[in-house]
A and B are shown apart, each in its own frame.
Chain A
């Protein structure tokens, strides 16, 4: 299974508790693979060798379309257990279904805005959160004038922070919102994406750190934690780090606020959940017990409280950081709700953005060529 860094503690605790509860009946052995991309690559190799593990969770990457033929259709089990079926959100079921068949059990609601450093905003004289992209760039100019690098960006490993900004820019219009909610688009030559790529090009050239090109998420996050940058695009699972004084200064969390992207855009969708690839009825039964345990209300509550991961189900009285609830509230009132590129775009396109971002940054390609490169990668 995939233990993405922010959920490692939760996953380890849950697996240990499951093994304790089901001692003598089932035992889950967890293999940890550092890095999401390494995990995905390994799963692809195991898929080719017809040797997938019994239970898979991909941390948001969409492998359902690629591995559908080896995954167990969970619809009959849902029908057998209506209470369990009702527990899943409609949006979660939709994201994890293909042709009316459920291939993964949702457990996360994907909510992403951006976090900003209020102290740095104040220093730059920015009084309110930008409501449009023009205002966003005006704010960036003010930050620059105050000697502050505006935005944390990255290009390695699909350029997570950068691609979130790109997606939010695309999703600022109705047509862009529709595009950002399309599963595996094949044509990226649309004006929304070209305009967004042009803005990203400007951001690379003017508004980010020198190490953004070629840098990964960790470098982008460090720049934000060290207050070298004022803005980072990311989800609420990052919030617990704002309180971790081994990473940030003591009053860091007090300085951080969350905002929706300009034009009222928020990432707000279901996320790919837990799939079963067991081959025998006995193993499917055991895997199902484990998946139900990992996606139970108790597990989702713990994930929310320990890792600030927003659950698929509704948990009203959870003990969470205020920023997490504020992020959820922003998602609930967003004008444009979009899904993230890792969940929807084909793996080759996700990889291609990392290849093309540096070229876009140094002006070797135009935004139109960037869009064409993604289209070519999707072919």
Chain B
């Protein structure tokens, strides 16, 4: 039985109202104010496109967009690859796989603040885990400021999330284990090797979940904030600055709200473009099976 349109509308109404109030109205305000001069202690005035022109010439915006894109790409490829690989391994259900699955999820379930504190201790200059390990292996005291040396800050921060694909593993594992055993059995009877089954049967069947995973991973980098803020705060210089952090700093340190909002609009547009591109890449509207 087809539900009545009015019934559907009644069920959707609270959600639509909440969306309008919590997301759409602030979004419109952000977009409108991005065309203004709005700074602390100064009167509000119309600025036209000047905030966008400023963003185009701002070296910090270039660095922030560059790092954001780099992290989006790294997360959409390396992070998802690692998560998918782990899911394929766990799907074999070897002895102790459940324990391993739980361990994989740990970085995703503890608070970001706690994770940042752990990572600060891991990469600490004096007595940190990494430096301690290198000192142990080389036999001489090794001190390197991983987070605050401009040559290592970016990779050190990136390691804070790149190697923990627990969420992707769980998503992919759920998709893999939902594939009918009959299908895999048929492939085996037809003489397919384990690698062929994984690549030619399972992977195409979980394409939509893989696409979703890529979207989840990539878009998480568009809003990554806490871990960077709590470890390097975007430094040294702008070596680990990304758009969310620069937006925050522009709003709350420089108190330039309109410029901050202009960058927020750019971030939203970037997000829409990324999601659109991933959807096209994975043909997520279509189904092969």
CB of B236 within 8 A of CB of A355, answer yes
Q: Which residue of B lies closest to A363 (CB)?
A: B150
Report the Cα distance A214→B149, complex, angstroms: 9
For residue A44, CB closer than 8 A to chain B, the reply is yes
CB of B41 within 8 A of CB of A67, answer yes
Report the Cα distance A47→B255, complex, angstroms: 10
Q: Which residue of B lies closest to A209 (CB)?
A: B126
- Interface flags, B249-262, vs A, CB<8A=1, else 0: 10011110100000
For residue A155, CB closer than 8 A to chain B, the reply is yes
Tell me the residues in window 142-173 of chain B with beta carbons closer than 8 Å to chain A beta carbons. 143, 145, 147-151
For residue B47, CB closer than 8 A to chain A, the reply is no
CB of A355 within 8 A of CB of B148, answer no
**Nearest-CB distance from A296 to chain B (Å)?**
31
Q: Which residue of B lies closest to A347 (CB)?
A: B253
CB of B255 within 8 A of CB of A355, answer no
Report the Cα distance A98→B126, complex, angstroms: 46
Report the Cα distance A364→B235, complex, angstroms: 12
CB of A358 within 8 A of CB of B235, answer yes
For residue A313, CB closer than 8 A to chain B, the reply is no
Please indicate the chain A residues that have their CB under 8 angstroms from the CB of B236 in the complex. Answer: 213, 355, 357-359, 361-362, 364
For residue B125, CB closer than 8 A to chain A, the reply is yes
Please indicate the chain B residues that have their CB under 8 angstroms from the CB of A44 in the complex. Answer: 40, 252, 255
User: Known: A354-B235, A356-B237, A358-B237. Contact between A214 and B147, CB under 8 A?
Assistant: yes
For residue B84, CB closer than 8 A to chain A, the reply is no
Please indicate the chain B residues that have their CB under 8 angstroms from the CB of A211 in the complex. Answer: 124-126
**Nearest-CB distance from B191 to chain A (Å)?**
58
**Nearest-CB distance from A192 to chain B (Å)?**
23
CB of B235 within 8 A of CB of A66, answer no
- Interface flags, A344-379, vs B, CB<8A=1, else 0: 000110010011111101101100000000000000
CB of A364 within 8 A of CB of B41, answer no
User: Which of A68, A155, A214 makes the CB contact (< 8 A) with B41?
Assistant: A68
Tell me the residues in window 203-256 of chain B with beta carbons closer than 8 Å to chain A beta carbons. 232-238, 249, 252-255
CB of B233 within 8 A of CB of A156, answer yes
CB of A69 within 8 A of CB of B150, answer no
- Interface flags, A201-217, vs B, CB<8A=1, else 0: 00000000111011000
Q: Which residue of A lies closest to B149 (CB)?
A: A362
Q: Which residue of B lies closest to A156 (CB)?
A: B233
CB of B252 within 8 A of CB of A45, answer yes
CB of A213 within 8 A of CB of B255, answer no
- Chain B contact surface mostly: loop
Please indicate the chain B residues that have their CB under 8 angstroms from the CB of A47 in the complex. Answer: 40-41
Report the Cα distance A66→B252, complex, angstroms: 13
For residue A280, CB closer than 8 A to chain B, the reply is no
Q: Which residue of B lies closest to A155 (CB)?
A: B148
CB of B252 within 8 A of CB of A364, answer no
Please indicate the chain A residues that have their CB under 8 angstroms from the CB of B151 in the complex. Answer: 362
CB of A210 within 8 A of CB of B145, answer yes
Q: Which residue of A lies closest to B234 (CB)?
A: A355
CB of A48 within 8 A of CB of B40, answer yes
Please indicate the chain A residues that have their CB under 8 angstroms from the CB of B147 in the complex. Answer: 214
Q: Which residue of B lies closest to A157 (CB)?
A: B233
Report the Cα distance A351→B151, complex, angstroms: 22
Report the Cα distance A362→B124, complex, angstroms: 16
Please indicate the chain A residues that have their CB under 8 angstroms from the CB of B126 in the complex. Answer: 209-211
Tell me the residues in window 32-47 of chain B with beta carbons closer than 8 Å to chain A beta carbons. 40-41
Report the Cα distance A31→B45, complex, angstroms: 34
Q: Which residue of A lies closest to B255 (CB)?
A: A44
**Nearest-CB distance from B151 to chain A (Å)?**
8
For residue A41, CB closer than 8 A to chain B, the reply is yes
Please indicate the chain B residues that have their CB under 8 angstroms from the CB of A214 in the complex. Answer: 125, 145, 147-148, 232, 235
User: Which of A45, A347, A362 makes the CB contact (< 8 A) with B150?
Assistant: A362
User: Known: A355-B234, A356-B237. Contact between A213 and B150, CB under 8 A?
Assistant: no
Please indicate the chain B residues that have their CB under 8 angstroms from the CB of A155 in the complex. Answer: 148
Tell me the residues in window 161-209 of chain A with beta carbons closer than 8 Å to chain B beta carbons. 209
Please indicate the chain B residues that have their CB under 8 angstroms from the CB of A354 in the complex. Answer: 233, 235
- Interface flags, B87-103, vs A, CB<8A=1, else 0: 00000000000000000
**Nearest-CB distance from B222 to chain A (Å)?**
23
**What is the interface of chain A, defined by CB distance below 8 A to chain B?**
41, 44-45, 47-48, 65-69, 155-156, 209-211, 213-214, 347-348, 351, 354-359, 361-362, 364-365
Rank and list the top 10 A-B pairs by shortest CB-CB distance, nearest first: A358-B236, A214-B148, A210-B125, A213-B148, A358-B148, A359-B237, A210-B143, A364-B150, A210-B126, A351-B253
Besides the contacts A48-B255, A357-B236, A362-B149, what 6 more A-B pairs have beta carbons closer than 8 Å?
A: A41-B252, A67-B41, A69-B41, A209-B126, A361-B236, A365-B237
- 22 pairs, CB–CB < 8 Å, chain A vs chain B: A41-B253, A44-B40, A44-B252, A47-B40, A48-B40, A48-B257, A65-B41, A66-B255, A69-B41, A210-B126, A211-B124, A213-B148, A214-B147, A214-B148, A351-B249, A351-B253, A362-B149, A362-B150, A362-B151, A362-B236, A364-B150, A364-B237
